[in-house]
């Protein structure tokens, strides 16, 4: 399965990048539109938001699971309540703005009602790691018969298998995101090598990566692509210095531009994968390879022996691989020492 099975408009072999804006708009439609524009400017193929109501995503005593030094709110319910003001009307506006700037609109649904109205606005459903075991909700989203992106943070392999069983009932094209559910994820915990296991264990899905590390020099995204991640998602903000929520481990448009600079350098180094000689190697093929060369003077009519031959550069004469065909042949004319052997020098050729 390929990226184009999920995003048909994607061209080339570069990774498909999703800027995960989440709720970094913090309830401002103007800021959300700015995030769309900056994601496009940075080179993202898609921008994704998050759609929920605090009342339907968390009970009022749900404890935190993030770094309190960066986000001091200790209640999931209270945190979600800060950012749950957008609903169908606002996401409709954001979809129109995405269309205007030619960037794919997406939003992760966290309840049935939002999934139903988002179906009218999206071509692809993204399912959070937190819902990987919520099989009824997975099946609801699969029932819309659209591709599914599923994050696998904090999951055992058997849990991923169970989720895929539900998805495969509906035959939806699927991408599995390697993901570490830790905010932010230290590089030592990123475990990018798990992408290889995803590819080997689940060969019929598109491998992907949902990143929660600090942006740094964006190498983690490059490495994930080299390991096989075809679709990459990373949190996105307009200002990384803002406190709280998902700003502190997000990339901004300049980070994204830097990623593409690094990726283009890597892609240039990678070239194409089919083994073949290149045009730029033609001179080396002719001059650095060897031919059979006479090791001594050979008189006309003499039968060539192995002692008459050696091999030297360039490759303009008979290749050494034909030495057994040359030995035992008679020469038509006198051949000086250190002469590059040609077939025209031999009888019967």
CATH code where residue 197 lies: 3.20.20.70
Write out the two tokens for 104.
């794919």
Does residue 3 form part of some domain?
A: no
- Mean per-residue pLDDT of the chain: 94
Does residue 96 form part of some domain?
A: yes
Say whether pLDDT at 346 is over 70.
yes
Per the structure, the count of domains in the chain is 2
CA distance 114 to 110: 7
CA distance 105 to 21: 11
The band of 103, judged by pLDDT with boundaries at 50, 70 and 90, is very high
Q: Are residues 25 and 114 in the same domain?
A: yes
Q: What is the DSSP letter of 304?
A: P
DSSP string, 109-154: E-SHHHHHHHTTT-SSEEE-GGGTT-HHHHHHHHTT---EEEE-TT
The band of 181, judged by pLDDT with boundaries at 50, 70 and 90, is very high
Q: Are residues 210 and 311 in the same domain?
A: no
- Say if residues 160 and 132 touch (Cβ distance below 8 Å): yes
51-to-23, 60, 111, 143, 168 alpha-carbon distances in Å: 8, 18, 8, 19, 25
The band of 245, judged by pLDDT with boundaries at 50, 70 and 90, is low
Can you give the pLDDT at residue 348?
83
CA distance 15 to 38: 19
Q: At 348, is the secondary structure helix, strand, or coil? A: coil
Does residue 7 form part of some domain?
A: no
Can you give the pLDDT at residue 39?
98
pLDDT digits (tens, 9 = 90+) for 264-313: 999 999 998 899 999 999 999 999 999 999 999 999 999 999 999 999 99
Question: What is the distance, to the nearest Å, from the Cα of residue 128 to the centroid of all Cα atoms in its chain?
Answer: 19
Can you give the pLDDT at residue 152?
98
Q: Are residues 178 and 230 in the same domain?
A: yes
Does residue 4 form part of some domain?
A: no
Does residue 105 form part of some domain?
A: yes
CA distance 27 to 90: 10
Q: Are residues 37 and 135 in the same domain?
A: yes
Q: Are residues 252 and 288 in the same domain?
A: no
What percent of the chain lies above the pLDDT cut of 70? 99
CA distance 112 to 115: 5
Greater pLDDT, 25 or 61? 25
CATH code where residue 303 lies: 3.90.1210.10
Say whether pLDDT at 83 is over 80.
no
Which residues span the domain enclosing 335?
279-345
DSSP string, 179-227: E---SSPPGGG--TTHHHHHHHH-TTSEEEEEE-S--TTSHHHHHHHHT
Average pLDDT over residues 4-11: 96
Q: Are residues 295 and 158 in the same domain?
A: no
Average pLDDT over residues 157-177: 97
Q: Are residues 27 and 149 in the same domain?
A: yes
Can you give the pLDDT at residue 144?
98
**Residues in a beta bridge with 232:** 17, 209
pLDDT digits (tens, 9 = 90+) for 209-241: 999 999 999 999 999 999 999 999 999 999 998
Does residue 9 form part of some domain?
A: no
Say whether pLDDT at 244 is over 70.
no
Q: Are residues 166 and 187 in the same domain?
A: yes
Q: Are residues 238 and 300 in the same domain?
A: no
Say whether pLDDT at 168 is over 80.
yes
Decide which of 270, 305, 329 is a domain's last residue: 270
Decide which of 252, 270, 288 is a domain's last residue: 270
Can you give the pLDDT at residue 75?
81
Q: At 250, is the secondary structure helix, strand, or coil? A: coil
CA distance 269 to 2: 22
Does residue 305 form part of some domain?
A: yes
Decide which of 225, 240, 270 is a domain's last residue: 270
Q: Are residues 220 and 296 in the same domain?
A: no
Can you give the pLDDT at residue 4?
97
Can you give the pLDDT at residue 67?
75
Say whether pLDDT at 107 is over 70.
yes
Can you give the pLDDT at residue 298?
97
Write out the two tokens for 244.
């709280």
**Residues in a beta bridge with 236:** 251
Say whether pLDDT at 180 is over 70.
yes
Q: Are residues 198 and 228 in the same domain?
A: yes
Does residue 5 form part of some domain?
A: no
Average pLDDT over residues 194-214: 97
Q: Are residues 146 and 284 in the same domain?
A: no
């Amino acid at each position: 399965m390929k990226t184009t099975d999920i995003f048909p408009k994607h061209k080339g072999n570069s990774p498909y990048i999703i800027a995960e804006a989440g709720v970094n708009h913090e309830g401002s439609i103007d800021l959300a539109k700015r995030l769309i524009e900056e994601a496009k400017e940075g080179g993202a193929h898609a921008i994704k938001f998050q759609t929920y109501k605090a009342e339907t995503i968390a009970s009022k005593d749900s404890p935190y699971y993030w770094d309190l030094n960066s986000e001091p709110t200790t209640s999931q319910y209270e945190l979600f309540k800060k950012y749950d003001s957008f609903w169908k009307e606002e996401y409709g506006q954001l979809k129109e703005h995405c269309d205007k700037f030619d960037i794919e609109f997406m939003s992760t649904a966290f309840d049935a009602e939002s999934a139903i109205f988002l179906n009218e606005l999206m071509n692809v459903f993204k399912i959070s790691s937190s819902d990987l075991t919520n099989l009824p909700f997975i099946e609801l989203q699969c029932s819309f018969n659209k591709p599914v992106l599923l994050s696998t943070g904090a999951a055992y392999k058997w849990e991923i298998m169970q989720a895929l069983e539900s998805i495969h009932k509906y035959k939806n094209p699927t991408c599995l995101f390697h993901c570490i559910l830790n905010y932010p994820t230290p590089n030592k915990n990123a475990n990018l090598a798990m992408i290889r296991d995803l590819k080997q264990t689940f060969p019929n899905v598109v491998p992907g990566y949902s990143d929660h590390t600090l942006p740094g020099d964006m190498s983690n995204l490059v490495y994930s692509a080299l390991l096989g991640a075809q679709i990459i998602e990373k949190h996105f903000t307009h200002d990384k210095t803002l406190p709280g929520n998902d700003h502190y481990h997000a990339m901004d448009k300049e980070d994204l531009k830097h990623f593409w600079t690094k990726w283009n350098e890597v892609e240039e180094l990678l070239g194409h994968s089919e083994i073949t000689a290149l045009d730029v190697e033609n001179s080396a093929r002719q001059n650095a390879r060897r031919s059979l060369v006479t090791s001594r003077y050979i008189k006309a009519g003499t039968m060539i022996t192995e002692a008459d031959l050696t091999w030297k550069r360039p490759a303009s004469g008979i290749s050494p691989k034909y030495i057994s065909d040359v030995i035992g042949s008679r020469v038509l004319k006198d051949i000086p020492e250190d002469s590059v052997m040609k077939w025209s020098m031999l009888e019967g050729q």
